[in-house]
């Protein structure tokens, strides 16, 4: 019953599991019992005063009730303000982001990042799993490679963004497959049959549609990502990963100033600057 209570419309999106639901319900029950106990003590105290007795009838549970009230306020802040709107913890369930993120890493994800700012190339992004991904996870984490309007290609192990080659120091190894992929020549199936979605192509490059983003895992040869299930819409973005907080030996910020994050300067400036920017 507690779990169903926490899955109602009011709680939708908070992703409270059954353990948390039972804990919240338990705290509420205890607090209700303390309220009744303190109320009974207050009534007894009033009767004692009316009879002229000096016996102290203050409930011994008053201090504990105040402590519990503070705990309830803290829980409310965490589950109804901080988690839905500010910060979220995220557990890495696979090796698709090696060696940037390892299996078992725990992250802090900023939900503020895309409420008041725009996604940038190179961001490590948590987003709702695309329906065509056909996996059990509800949220994915990948690196943002392409913004709306960007032209993306991977050829001979090198990423190209808007026609410029990009050196990526964070990837585990160079990708073996070409992007955009395509059916074998002479095959009877269409591109949609082959991939499950349609590429938007221009000069044999993937064109990211308006309002969408192209994501790839840093472990390029062991990642199911945008090359498999296509583009991610803006409304599916949950937040930007900013910090690994566990295990202790892995505590660090998550940001690479170079690689695809530096591509914007390449695109907006002239050819001489492009050559100095770290492109291959």
Active-site annotation holds for 83: no
> What does the alpha-carbon distance between residue 31 and residue 68 come to, in Å, rounded to a whole number?
7
169-219 per-position pLDDT tens digit: 999 899 988 887 765 554 444 455 445 566 777 778 989 999 999 999 999
- CA 210, CA 157: separation in Å to the nearest integer? 27
What does the pLDDT average to over 33-49? 58
Confidence class of residue 240 from pLDDT cuts 50, 70 and 90?
Answer: very high
- The Cα–Cα gap between 244 and 197 comes to 33
* Residue 5 reports pLDDT greater than 80: no
Please identify which residue in the block is written with the tokens 């519990």: 68
Assess whether the previous peptide bond of 241 is cis (omega < 30° from 0): no
Q: Over range 53-77, report the average pLDDT.
A: 55
Provide the 8-state DSSP code for 17. -
Specify whether the CB–CB gap between 200 and 206 falls below 8 A. yes
The angle formed by the CA atoms of residues 237, 241 and 246, to the nearest 5 degrees, is 140
Please pick, among 96, 110, 223, 277, the residue that the annotation labels catalytic. 96
Q: Give the pLDDT band of residue 20 (cuts 50, 70, 90).
A: low
What confidence category does residue 12 fall into, taking pLDDT thresholds of 50, 70 and 90?
Answer: very low
Q: Is the pLDDT of residue 117 over 70?
A: yes
Residue 178 makes CB contacts below 8 A (sequence gap 6+) with: 154, 155
Q: Which two tokens stand for residue 83?
A: 């988690």
Higher pLDDT, 182 or 51: 182
The residue ranking higher by pLDDT, 2 or 232, is: 232
Report yes or no: 131 and 186 within 8 Å, Cβ to Cβ. Answer: no
* DSSP-based three-state secondary structure for 9: helix
In the numeric block, the tokens 């080659």 are attached to 165
CA-CA distance, 280 to 265, in Å (whole number)? 15
| pLDDT computed for residue 195 by the predictor | 55
Q: Quick check: 229 pLDDT over 80?
A: yes
pLDDT at 225 over 80: yes
Tell me if the pTM is above 0.75: no
**pLDDT, position 190:** 46
Q: What percent of the chain has pLDDT over 90?
A: 32
Strand arrangement of the beta sheet that strand 201-202 belongs to: 164-166, 158-161, 151-155, 205-207, 201-202
pLDDT at 254: 85
Mean pLDDT of 111-138: 86
pLDDT of 215? 96
The pLDDT of residue 33: 61
Residues 193, 168 contacting (CB under 8 angstroms): no
What integer pLDDT is reported at residue 6 of this predicted model?
42
Per-residue pLDDT tens digits for 125-174: 999 998 877 667 789 999 999 999 999 999 999 999 999 999 899 998 99
φ and ψ at residue 26, rounded to 5 degrees: -60, -45
Name the pLDDT band for 264 (thresholds 50, 70, 90).
Answer: low
- Answer yes or no: 19 catalytic: no
Give dist(CA 154, CA 127) in Å, integer: 23
Residue with tokens 């190209």: 160
The candidate with the shortest Cα–Cα distance to 233, out of 252, 214, 253, is 214
Which of the two residues, 143 and 51, has the higher pLDDT score? 143
Q: What is the pLDDT of residue 260?
A: 81
Percent of the chain predicted with pLDDT > 70: 55
Residue for token digits 């009230």?
69
Q: For the residues of 28-88, what is the DSSP string, one character each?
A: HHHHHHHHHHHHHHHHHHHHHHHHT-------TTHHHHHHHHHHHHHHHHIIIIIIIIIEE
Instruction: Out of 98, 110, 142, 277, pick the active-site residue.
Output: 142
Nearest CA-CA partner of 262 in 156, 152, 164: 164
Average pLDDT, the chain: 73
State residue 219's pLDDT score. 95
For residue 197, the tally of other CB atoms under 10 A from its CB is 15
| CATH H-level superfamily of 92-276 | Umud Fragment, subunit A (2.10.109.10)
Query: What are the structural domain ranges in the chain?
Result: 2-86, 92-276
Q: Residue 208 gets which letter from DSSP?
A: P
Q: Which of 36-40, 89-93, 245-249, 269-273 has the lowest mean pLDDT?
A: 269-273
């Amino acid at each position: 019953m507690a779990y169903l209570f926490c899955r109602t419309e009011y709680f939708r999106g908070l992703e409270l599991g059954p353990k948390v639901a039972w804990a919240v319900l338990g705290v509420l029950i205890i607090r209700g019992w303390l309220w009744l106990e303190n109320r009974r003590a207050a009534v007894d105290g009033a009767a004692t005063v009316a009879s002229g007795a000096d016996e102290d009838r203050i409930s011994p549970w008053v201090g504990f009730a105040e402590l519990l009230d503070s705990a309830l306020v803290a829980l409310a802040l965490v589950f109804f303000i901080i988690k839905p709107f500010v910060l979220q913890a995220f557990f890495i369930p696979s090796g698709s982001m090696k060696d940037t993120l390892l299996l078992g890493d725990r992250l802090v994800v900023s939900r503020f990042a895309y409420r008041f700012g725009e996604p940038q190339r190179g961001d490590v992004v948590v987003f709702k799993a695309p329906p065509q991904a056909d996996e059990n996870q509800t949220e994915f984490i990948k690196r943002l490679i392409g913004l709306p309007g960007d032209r993306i290609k991977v050829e001979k192990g090198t990423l190209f963004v808007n026609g410029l080659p990009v050196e990526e120091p964070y990837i585990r190894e160079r990708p073996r497959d070409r992007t955009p992929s395509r059916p074998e020549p002479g095959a009877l199936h269409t591109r949609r049959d082959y991939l499950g979605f349609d590429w938007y192509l221009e000069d044999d490059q993937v064109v990211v549609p308006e309002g969408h983003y192209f994501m790839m895992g840093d472990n390029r040869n062991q990642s199911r990502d945008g090359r498999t299930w296509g583009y991610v819409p803006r409304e599916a973005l949950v937040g930007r990963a900013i910090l690994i907080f566990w295990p202790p030996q892995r505590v660090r910020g998550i940001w690479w100033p170079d690689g695809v994050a530096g591509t914007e300067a390449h695109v907006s400036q002239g050819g001489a600057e492009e050559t100095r920017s770290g492109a291959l």
